[in-house]
Structure 1
Amino acid sequence: MNERARHLVAALTGLGLGLAALGPGLAPGFVLSYDMVFVPDPAFTALTFGLTGIVPRHVPSDAFATALATVLPADAAQKLVLLAIFVMACTAAASLVPTTRLLPRLAAGVCYAWNPFVAERLLLGQWALLLGYAALPWVVAAAAGLHDPGGGRRLVRSLLPAAVGGFAALAVSALTALAVALVSPGRAGARERAAGAARVVGAAAVLSLPWLVPGLLRPAGVPGDGSAVGLFAARADTPFGTLGSLLLLGGVWNGETVPDGYGAPVTATIWLAVVVAALAAYWKWCREPRWRRGLAAAAAAGFAVAALGAVAAPALEGMIGLWPGFAVFRDGQQYAAPLAVAVAVGLGTAADRAAGARLPGVAVAAAAVPVILLPTLAWGAAGELRAVRYPDDWARARQIIHADPVEGDVLVLPWAAYRSYPWNDGRRVLDPLPRYLHRRVIVDDAVSVGTTDGTTTVAPEDPRAVRLAPAARTGAPPVETLRAEGIRYVVVDAEIGSQRPSGPAAEVLRGPDLAVYRIDGIAASPGDGVPIAPVVAGWGIASLVVFWSFLATGTTLSLPLLGSTKPRSIPPRRRTP
């Protein structure tokens, strides 16, 4: 079997894993879970590009989803993205195992695409982060080959999925690539390593411009709430404590997104043995000189960052106090991604060693054990990820609001960031109305997290939400206050009948799932947005660099060229006389 055929088999295996994991989520409709918000007929708006003044965490992933929905039905576009995560993850990890044998490669691919990290982040709805995670093995290979001809172009191409994912995905991928570039180049001198690191920083910075520019130009500045470190720190979801849970690729901060049954003592102990054996095999038998030490360094650094909020919260709080940008480390568990690469490659290496010793049963077991130990990721995470349709009330509300020639913004009640709609089977989801409606929509962006001491709220970041919060929190905001803020419509998408504007507001729609109120005589909306010209320039520069990365002779869009390495078999261990 040639190399291209091996990539095809790995991709088909990833597709099978994706179909098994999504299950009922593949039915017509949308999967809505926590941060995963897709809507029918999305449009490019100021929100899409981060021009409204809110923190642009959704840039450019929303633009990518909207562009894809212009050529496909929006719900089909969501399913394509989610399946692509599994296909890329399996293919990329398989390509990194230094062997020509197919089964060990598939063992690595299955392990990387089906593990607690993927399950917990999928339930948390962080599809954009998972895009970058899926391509991380290609990033490792590209960062180790920066000094090869076309190495810079290859790095940019490998970072593209993370760039689409946005700031969190690109932060994880860039830190991984930086560690590999600094450690991996063998006998390269300090100058060559510094040059490689500079290329990584430059590529990541340019690809970050679509979200970095509007983030830096926000009138409210770069937010950074150090008090939230403890809320988003890694937590134990196995019997082995927080650090043990991180080692097992779990430990997400939100206990509601842990798969059913995960962390049981027996299966957790077996999984711990698999992870330890995989890491030992990686270090002992994976002799690929270009990225072996660099990936190990990236995994160690990522583990340290992942544990930082749990074991040294005051230090991270102090860092955020010095520079708000360090808030990107608050949700530390996401930085366990390079450790997942090392575990997957190590498992594939161990399987290859077993296959070389004519123990094919061990190789087969290595490919199957991740799925066996985490069966509740299957069938939409045991039914948690199901496709639903938006109610008819929503479509009627959008038609009314979009047909109104009077400009003005929309306020959403009740005043809370996440919803548990009955039509979404009670699953929590970030309010979809800002993406569903094509006007500026103000929602509460303060995140409330339940703790053992009660509920703690992270401070809101949208200046409009901050100003309207005292009135909106009452459930009956005065019409005079709304007029002054340029609010044309108030939409109540939960607790219908118990919340509405206080004062003369016309009820233009009232149904079982939505109520809409119109306010006349509003003032002009305050200017809290971001200037357009710098954002356009940032998109233009990033697009030119992406175009440049595909100019190399013979470059195509095929997956193997995104960063795979030339495989070689691991030689059998020599016997001492």
Structure 2
Amino acid sequence: MMGRTRHLAPALTGLGLGSLALGPGLAPGFLLSYDMVFVPDPALNAMAFGLTGTVPRHVPSDAAVAALALVLPGWLVQRVLLLAVFVLACAAAASLVPSRRTVPRLVAGVCYAWNPFVAERLLLGQWALLLGYAALPWVLYAAAVKAGERGGWRWLPGVMLPAAIGGFAALAVSGLAGFMAGRGRGRVVVAGVFAVLSLPWLVPGLLRPGGVPGDGAGVEAFAARADTPFGTLGSLLLLGGVWNGETVPAGYGTPVTAALWGLVVLGALFAYGRYRERIAPWWRGAAWAAGVGYAVAALGAVLPPVLETAIRLWPGFAVLRDGQQFAAPLAVVVAVGLGLAADRAIEARYAPVALGALLAPVVLLPALAWGAAGQLRPVDYPADWARAKRIIEADPEPGDVLVLPWAAYRAYPWNHGRRVLDPLPRYLPRRVVVNDAVTVGGTTLAPEDPRAVRLDGAIRSGGPLTGVLRDAGVRYVAVDAADPEAGPDRLPGAERLVQGADLVLYRIAGTAATPERNAPVLAVIAAWIVASVPLIWSMISAMATLGTRLLGSTTPRRRAP
């Protein structure tokens, strides 16, 4: 019973924190914010598996969402995943505090589930990254303790499953952290598991016609930024520093609250070092992971030429551009250190100090509560979109869908003006061509979708598009009704099928199917099969271990004579 309570209390606390963070966002509808795009009835199509020629950044998270949507409504799938982030994060961090007391473990769990890193990444819409972040404490423990043991590799695939679902960014963070936390043979095991679990997005990425893109111009654009009075390095130490100023929680970073939160973080780091013997033998590995992660987080801001050179040498290093995400291991150390400090405070009969540590993250970051201070509110997709989808689904003729205006992110009035990555590629049942060139702070990164690259010049020219689009295999053009530059003058001869307040849909006659070069299907299927083997084996081993423990606990013991 004690063991069950040990894990149940943090899990329930995480559920409460998640409910408090989402607030009105728990109601039906979709929460759309920057990269967080969920749609009704997502399809298990070529895009979900990275087979459209685009960079497979959404693999395998889109496939996981589509699979869950086979049994749950799309909006409910989103709520389950978002709440899972808080539940897993709280439970995972709490499990690393070696105390029989509940409060110190909850202190660690609350700190890890409720901090600037979580708030900023949630507003940025990176739920998939946060899913990997949530299980990172278990990854660090497994890498430092279990991976080097005989048969210990079976632990890693299971605890890295959330990061594997999250995709390339989540796995990159977990893989680097686990590698630094491991020792000797353990590091080899971590590297091997990371490579195998990365195959579903790595294979279509490497084998796509354009290969893995790497744009050094994005280093400074995505570098960490100061969101407190303590500069970029201080902000990263306080677990903030996201590159997008629009995703900093309201009111965060004021001198008073930043100073108080800074004292909490510094106190936690001191306690981690002071009481490290309580978390032997893995404390050193976690500290290494935190230190290296912090250095990577600061690299783009402190030494951008170094990272730019690395990306030119190998485009895969572009995953390091958004450096702040690699501060995640530091959050583990801070959370565990705060839990150790609370445990020591209770031992010294300073229980109010432990209670203050438990409440501090929420009190000092209230803007994460209630839908991130109202920034995350559920919405329904407009009726115009549903009409367009029905028309396109019923059309037997081939052809792609082009989206105008020619931009990756939208600020729809029906989404309360909040910026979001265009949902139409996931909403519509066909290949959708959008301009995936991202502009950050005046810096525009090159588009990556081969079809978008091919059409970019013609669309930007301002001239008629009908003939160009017909030759490129585009049958439909979906236009944001608020865009004054994408009217019928640019699409002469096209048939207008939907004219609504939120969307206008045109159809171009005579479009022929245009073959698209992408990664070999058989290679992608093989990648998914190979990646699934260690996950299945890990789950079987975990269930066998659980069964042995349950049978052992119910088998009556003979009394000693």
Q: Same fold (TM over 0.5)?
A: yes
The reply to whether residue 213 of structure 1 matches residue 214 of structure 2 is no
SS of residue matched to 1:388: coil
Paired position in structure 2 for 1:402:
393
> Within 5 Å, which residues of 2 pair with 1:419-458?
419-450=410-441, 455-458=442-445
SS of residue matched to 1:525: coil
Letter in 1 for 2:71: V
SS of residue matched to 1:552: helix
Distance in 1 between the 2:2 and 2:315 partners? 49
Task: Report the CA distance between 1:477 and its aligned residue.
Answer: 4.7
Say whether the 8 Å CA contact 1:35–1:430 is kept in structure 2: yes
The reply to whether residue 550 of structure 1 matches residue 539 of structure 2 is yes
> Within 5 Å, which residues of 2 pair with 1:133-152?
133-144=133-144, 145-152=146-153
Distance in 1 between the 2:362 and 2:152 partners? 35
SS of residue matched to 2:436: coil
Distance in 2 between the 1:251 and 1:177 partners? 23
Task: Report the CA distance between 1:475 and its aligned residue.
Answer: 5.8
Paired position in structure 2 for 1:467:
454
Deviations 1:101-128 (A, max 9, x none): 1100000000000000000000000000
Letter in 1 for 2:193: A
The reply to whether residue 278 of structure 1 matches residue 268 of structure 2 is yes
Task: Report the CA distance between 1:473 and its aligned residue.
Answer: 2.9
The reply to whether residue 268 of structure 1 matches residue 255 of structure 2 is no
Distance in 1 between the 2:21 and 2:461 partners? 41
Say whether the 8 Å CA contact 1:492–1:499 is kept in structure 2: yes
Please, which runs of 5 or more residues in structure 1 have no aligned partner? 183-192, 562-577
| Matching residue within 525, 536, 540 for 2:514 | 525
The reply to whether residue 39 of structure 1 matches residue 39 of structure 2 is yes
Distance in 1 between the 2:89 and 2:316 partners? 28
> Within 5 Å, which residues of 2 pair with 1:16-95?
16-95=16-95
Distance in 2 between the 1:497 and 1:437 partners? 23
Task: Report the CA distance between 1:77 and its aligned residue.
Answer: 0.6
Paired position in structure 2 for 1:571:
none
Say whether the 8 Å CA contact 2:294–2:330 is kept in structure 1: yes
Distance in 2 between the 1:467 and 1:7 partners? 54
Distance in 2 between the 1:257 and 1:473 partners? 30
The reply to whether residue 235 of structure 1 matches residue 236 of structure 2 is no
| Matching residue within 475, 487, 499 for 1:510 | 499
Paired position in structure 2 for 1:566:
none
Say whether the 8 Å CA contact 1:414–1:475 is kept in structure 2: no
Alignment: residue pair count = 545
Distance in 2 between the 1:335 and 1:443 partners? 29
Tell me which moved more, 172-181 or 524-533.
524-533
Against the structure 1 CA distance between its residues 328 and 361, is the aligned structure 2 distance closer, same or farther, given a 3 Å change threshold?
same
Paired position in structure 1 for 2:115:
115
| Matching residue within 527, 531, 536 for 1:538 | 527
Deviations 1:538-562 (A, max 9, x none): 001111221111222644799x99x
The reply to whether residue 247 of structure 1 matches residue 230 of structure 2 is no
Tell me which moved more, 549-558 or 406-415.
549-558
Paired position in structure 1 for 2:472:
485
Distance in 1 between the 2:317 and 2:161 partners? 23
SS of residue matched to 1:508: strand
Say whether the 8 Å CA contact 2:405–2:483 is kept in structure 1: no
Deviations 1:177-218 (A, max 9, x none): 101113xxxxxxxxxx1x211111110111111100000011
Task: Report the CA distance between 1:524 and its aligned residue.
Answer: 2.6
Distance in 2 between the 1:554 and 1:272 partners? 42
> Within 5 Å, which residues of 2 pair with 1:173-184?
173-182=174-183
Letter in 1 for 2:159: S
Task: Report the CA distance between 1:446 and its aligned residue.
Answer: 0.3
Task: Report the CA distance between 1:354 and its aligned residue.
Answer: 0.3
Say whether the 8 Å CA contact 2:15–2:87 is kept in structure 1: yes
Distance in 2 between the 1:493 and 1:255 partners? 26
Say whether the 8 Å CA contact 2:398–2:512 is kept in structure 1: no
Task: Report the CA distance between 1:493 and its aligned residue.
Answer: 2.4
SS of residue matched to 1:347: helix
Paired position in structure 1 for 2:554:
none
Task: Report the CA distance between 1:498 and its aligned residue.
Answer: 4.1
Task: Report the CA distance between 1:382 and its aligned residue.
Answer: 0.2
RMSD between aligned residues: 1.5
Say whether the 8 Å CA contact 1:238–1:244 is kept in structure 2: yes
Task: Report the CA distance between 1:474 and its aligned residue.
Answer: 4.7
Point out which structure has higher relative CO (alpha carbons under 8 A, 6+ apart): 1
Say whether the 8 Å CA contact 1:150–1:552 is kept in structure 2: no
Letter in 2 for 1:361: P
Letter in 1 for 2:213: P
SS of residue matched to 2:160: helix
Distance in 2 between the 1:525 and 1:503 partners? 22
Paired position in structure 1 for 2:357:
366
SS of residue matched to 1:226: coil
Paired position in structure 2 for 1:172:
173
Paired position in structure 2 for 1:569:
none
Paired position in structure 2 for 1:574:
none
Against the structure 1 CA distance between its residues 514 and 153, is the aligned structure 2 distance closer, same or farther, given a 3 Å change threshold?
same
> Within 5 Å, which residues of 2 pair with 1:156-171?
156-171=157-172
Tell me which moved more, 519-528 or 161-170.
519-528
Task: Report the CA distance between 1:286 and its aligned residue.
Answer: 2.5
| Matching residue within 258, 265, 272 for 2:248 | 258
Distance in 2 between the 1:419 and 1:476 partners? 23
Paired position in structure 2 for 1:155:
156
The percentage of counterpart residues that share the same residue type is: 66
Deviations 1:224-266 (A, max 9, x none): 0001100000000000000000000000000000000000000
Distance in 1 between the 2:542 and 2:328 partners? 32
Task: Report the CA distance between 1:496 and its aligned residue.
Answer: 4.9
Task: Report the CA distance between 1:311 and its aligned residue.
Answer: 0.3
Paired position in structure 2 for 1:14:
14
Say whether the 8 Å CA contact 2:227–2:241 is kept in structure 1: yes
Letter in 2 for 1:528: R
Task: Report the CA distance between 1:6 and its aligned residue.
Answer: 1.4
TM-score (norm 2): 0.95
Letter in 2 for 1:478: L
Tell me which moved more, 530-539 or 299-308.
530-539
Paired position in structure 2 for 1:331:
322
Say whether the 8 Å CA contact 2:31–2:376 is kept in structure 1: yes
Say whether the 8 Å CA contact 2:402–2:477 is kept in structure 1: yes
The reply to whether residue 318 of structure 1 matches residue 305 of structure 2 is no
| Matching residue within 185, 200, 206 for 2:190 | 200
Letter in 2 for 1:68: L
Say whether the 8 Å CA contact 2:199–2:527 is kept in structure 1: yes
Letter in 1 for 2:128: A
Distance in 2 between the 1:343 and 1:333 partners? 16
Task: Report the CA distance between 1:399 and its aligned residue.
Answer: 0.2
Against the structure 1 CA distance between its residues 127 and 333, is the aligned structure 2 distance closer, same or farther, given a 3 Å change threshold?
same
